[in-house]
Structure formats: C-alpha cells, structure tokens
Amino acid sequence: MLTFVTTNPGKVHEAEEYLDDPIQQLDFDYPEVQADDLATVAAHGARAAYRHAGEPVIVDDSGLTIDALGGFPGPYSSYVEDRLGIERVWELTKQEDDRSAAFRGVVAYCDGEDFAATPEPVDRGEADESRSERRGQDLGADERASATIDAQVAGGDGTIPVKLFEGVVPGEIVAPRGDGGFGFDPIFEYDGRTFAEMDTDEKNAISHRGRALAKFAEWFANIER
Ligand code: IMP
C-alpha cells in the first residue's frame, strides 16, 4: 500500500487517477524546510514523512516560477499568494517584456531503500551533509537556521535516498481572468486560456501535478516490490 502524506484529500483523489495501486492518505503536516528549489523541499518532506509513517510514502510540492523575476515565487508560492496576492504578482510582472512562467510540481517517493538508475533524479541529501560538516564553523545566520531545520527534519537520516519526479507546464503571466481553480490560476495562461478558465478535468489533464504523477506512476508500476 502506498501512502500519500498530505493534509489535502483532493491531491490523493487526483493521484488515484494515475496509479493502479491503492493509495491511502496520511494526514500529517510534516515540517517544510526553506530552500530555493521545490525538489529540495519535497525531498526533505519525503524523508520526514517516511520517518513518521514507517512505510513507502509520496509527498508533493508545487509552485509557480516567473522567469523575469528569477523564478519567484517558486517554493514560496503559498506564502506569496497569502501575503501579496495574485493581483500584485501580476502588477510586478506586467512591467516585464518577458512574462513567461511555469507551474512546477515535484512528487517525491521514499521507501527507505536505494533505487536502480533511471533518468529521474535521486536526492541523497548531499547538500545537507556538506552543510552539516560546515555547521558551527563558517555558517551565516540564515544557513545556521536552515541547517538546524535540516537536522530536525532529517533526524540523522539525511542520506536516505528520495526519488524525484518533476512535472512542468510552461505558460505566461497575464491580467487575472476566469473564476475557476485556485491560487495563481487566474493569472496563468496556457494555450490562450488561463487555468481559471478551464474546468477541473481539462486543467488536471495538463497540470504540472498530473505530469509529475504520470511520470511517477509509470516508474512505480515497474519497480520491484
Ligand atoms: P502545493 O505545494 O501544491 O500545496 O502548492 C503550493 C502553492 O503553489 C499553492 O498554495 C499555490 O499558491 C501554488 N500552486 C500550486 N499549484 C497550483 C495550481 O495548480 N494552480 C494555482 N496555484 C498553484
């Protein structure tokens, strides 16, 4: 049995559409580390979730990246949506000539074992290791805070491998349109329509989460268990 560790039952229903195996939800709000890329956040989350559940788990993490803003808001999407709001993200972006953006989603799988090589990356917590070697030596205040969270989350098992599957949908930031969806959907245009102008099935068929789940499902169907 595969366990999807998330507080959001909607994500579990979406995953069920891609996987042949049954999935159960474990409603556990694992601590999220602060990092500039979604894959690192998801990998830490998967380790913490695996330690909590003690059985094979997936977690997911997603966000919007705007090219002209250096990938902002990326892993901070939820915070930026709450604090700034999508209108202000549009105001920031409309001054730019290049308004290209992408929704990115990462599904992270951990079962405590290592993985045979496939094109999808494996996170082995190397960044944490080099950080902990330097811990107490020349770390700045931000890095020290981050290393402390890493240590708490990793619980000494920072090198447990985590397999990562990324799904990306390229698009463009536009003035808000549409009533559907959630989050940044009204300002994200794909193929002439915003995500908020699509119905749920249409959006799920092309979404970053769906693309990451499809990659994971294909891999998961073929691993030895
Ligand atoms: P999560 O990691 O899937 O919980 O997503 C984090 C944040 O990214 C959300 O709170 C939204 O702000 C943004 N986000 C992720 N996926 C989507 C999407 O499909 N549409 C709109 N916003 C999204």
Domain that holds residue 165: 2-220
- Kindly report the protein residue whose alpha carbon is nearest to atom 9 of ligand 1: 78
Q: What is the CATH number of the domain that holds 103?
A: 3.90.950.10
- Ligand 1 touching residue 194 (CB < 6 A): no
Which residues are CB-contacts of 99 (< 8 A; sequence separation ≥ 6)? 66, 68, 93, 172, 173, 174
Mean pLDDT of 196-215: 94
Average model confidence (pLDDT) for the chain? Answer: 88
Question: Which pLDDT does position 119 carry in this prediction?
Answer: 86
Question: Which pLDDT does position 28 carry in this prediction?
Answer: 95
Q: Which of 15-19, 81-85, 148-152 has the lowest mean pLDDT?
A: 148-152
**How many structural domains is the chain composed of?**
1
Structure tokens at 165: 């599957």
**Catalytic sites, residue numbers:** 61
Give yes or no for a contact between 174 and 89, defined as CB atoms under 8 angstroms apart.
no
Question: Which pLDDT does position 24 carry in this prediction?
Answer: 96
Maximum Cα interatomic distance, the chain, rounded to a whole number of Å: 53
Question: Which pLDDT does position 5 carry in this prediction?
Answer: 98
- Please give the distance, rounded to the nearest whole angstrom, from the Cα atom of residue 63 to the centre of ligand 1: 5
Give yes or no for a contact between 196 and 206, defined as CB atoms under 8 angstroms apart.
no
Give yes or no for a contact between 179 and 171, defined as CB atoms under 8 angstroms apart.
no
Does residue 147 sit within a domain? yes
Residue 152 has pLDDT above 50, yes or no: no
Does residue 136 sit within a domain? yes
Q: Which atom of ligand 1 is nearest to the CA of 208?
A: 19
Does residue 154 sit within a domain? yes
Question: Which pLDDT does position 116 carry in this prediction?
Answer: 85
| Residue 224 pLDDT class (50, 70, 90 cuts) | confident
- Ligand 1 touching residue 109 (CB < 6 A): no
Question: Which pLDDT does position 159 carry in this prediction?
Answer: 79
Does residue 58 sit within a domain? yes
| Residue 131 pLDDT class (50, 70, 90 cuts) | very low
Instruction: Say how far residue 219 (Cα) sits from the centre of its chain.
Output: 18
Residue 20 has pLDDT above 70, yes or no: yes
The single residue listed with the structure tokens 């990462």 is: 106
- Ligand 1 touching residue 183 (CB < 6 A): yes
Read off the amino acid at residue 57: V
Question: Which pLDDT does position 117 carry in this prediction?
Answer: 83
The single residue listed with the structure tokens 């990306």 is: 168
- Ligand 1 touching residue 197 (CB < 6 A): no
The DSSP 8-state label assigned to residue 157 in this structure reads -
pLDDT tens-digit profile of 162-205? 999 999 999 999 999 999 999 999 999 999 999 999 998 899 89
- Please give the distance, rounded to the nearest whole angstrom, from the Cα atom of residue 176 to the centre of ligand 1: 16
pLDDT tens-digit profile of 23-79? 999 999 998 999 999 999 999 999 999 999 999 999 999 999 999 999 999 999 999
Q: What span, in angstroms and rounded, lies between the C-alpha atoms of 84 and 77? A: 10
Does residue 20 sit within a domain? yes
Does residue 131 sit within a domain? yes
- Ligand 1 touching residue 190 (CB < 6 A): no
Does residue 225 sit within a domain? no
pLDDT tens-digit profile of 66-108? 999 999 999 999 999 999 999 999 999 999 999 999 999 999 9
Residue 150 has pLDDT above 60, yes or no: no
Question: Which pLDDT does position 1 carry in this prediction?
Answer: 87
Q: What span, in angstroms and rounded, lies between the C-alpha atoms of 17 and 167? A: 16
- Please give the distance, rounded to the nearest whole angstrom, from the Cα atom of residue 202 to the centre of ligand 1: 17
Own/partner contacts of 15-23, CB < 8 Å, gap of 24 or more, are 15/58, 15/213, 17/204, 18/210, 18/213, 18/214, 18/216, 18/217, 19/213, 19/217, 19/220, 20/217, 20/221, 21/220
Q: What DSSP line would sit under 30-72, residue for residue?
A: PPPPP-SSHHHHHHHHHHHHHHHH-S-EEEEEEEEEEGGGTTE
Does residue 75 sit within a domain? yes
Partners of 167 in the beta sheet?
105
